[in-house]
Amino acid sequence: LNPRWRELICDALTGADRVVSVSDELASGVLEMGVGEERVLRLPNGVDCDLFPPRAERERRVPQILFVGRFQQSKGLGVLLEAIDLLNDGKRQFRLRCVGGNTLHPAAPFRQQAQRLGIQGLTRFDDEVPWLQIPQVMAGADLLVLPSFSEGMPLVLLEAMAAGLPVVATHCGGPSEIVDDAWGELIEPGDAIQLAAALARVLDNLSAYDPVELQQRARRMYDYRTLAERLHSDYDEILAAY
């Protein structure tokens, strides 16, 4: 929207020998700015699958819905709390854990929203953790939710796949390209009713999602070593031209 920023971005993109895009949607934006298709490399984010142990059989406990991300409205956290209120209809047990607070994006506004909705007993807000602790955080969850309004290729979704977790995410860019019925559900951003319904369906059918298949898919498609090899080959091709 800012003409000067657009000019600078176009100069950077059109002057590059290769533009690496983490999603098809972002690649389309690059093409619209004048970069030829032959100079665009579509390469998703990668995850260290070795950090995520094989998914153990689910224990008999209250299912945990997990959100990992910045505590801000653009991540859909406010909409998520509205959905949790709708989901709290007495038909099933669950808990919500949110991880990602910091001094710039504190939990206080969302704790207050949870209190207004009367769901403070169902929700837990934790500060962000070092990335090496994410596998442990996900090991305690049964479902990951990412209700963002806009995303490229969110690493947290790929980490959820590596952890063998089903997901509920939004049609907001990258998630639309990777989430399918075997992994979870996609809904429109900003719709608490849709989000609550999707969470209910996944919670009620957790056994339908095969954690072993999900972890194998993550290793096959998104392990960072495989992606690094592709990027290394691309660098070799560019350098050979000089």
- What lies within 8 Å, CB to CB, of 167 at 6+ separation is 143, 144, 145, 146, 157, 160, 161, 179, 183, 184, 185
Q: Tokens for 219? A: 């290793």
pLDDT in tens, 11-55: 999 999 999 999 999 999 999 999 999 999 999 999 999 999 988
pLDDT in tens, 143-199: 999 999 999 999 999 999 999 999 999 999 999 999 999 999 999 999 999 999 999
pLDDT at 58 over 80: no
Q: How many CB atoms lie within 10 A of CB 171?
A: 11
Query: Which of 153, 168, 97 lies closest to 128 in space, CA to CA?
Result: 97
pLDDT at 56 over 80: no
- pLDDT-based confidence at residue 57 (cuts at 50, 70, 90): confident
Please state, in angstroms and rounded to a whole number, the distance separating the CA atoms of residues 165 and 66: 10
**Mean pLDDT of the residues in the chain:** 95
Burial of 189 (0-12, 13-18, 19+ CB in 10 A): buried
Nearest-5° Cα angle at 174, 235 to 74: 120
Please state, in angstroms and rounded to a whole number, the distance separating the CA atoms of residues 164 and 161: 5
Please state, in angstroms and rounded to a whole number, the distance separating the CA atoms of residues 219 and 50: 9
Confidence (pLDDT) at 117: 98
Confidence (pLDDT) at 60: 74
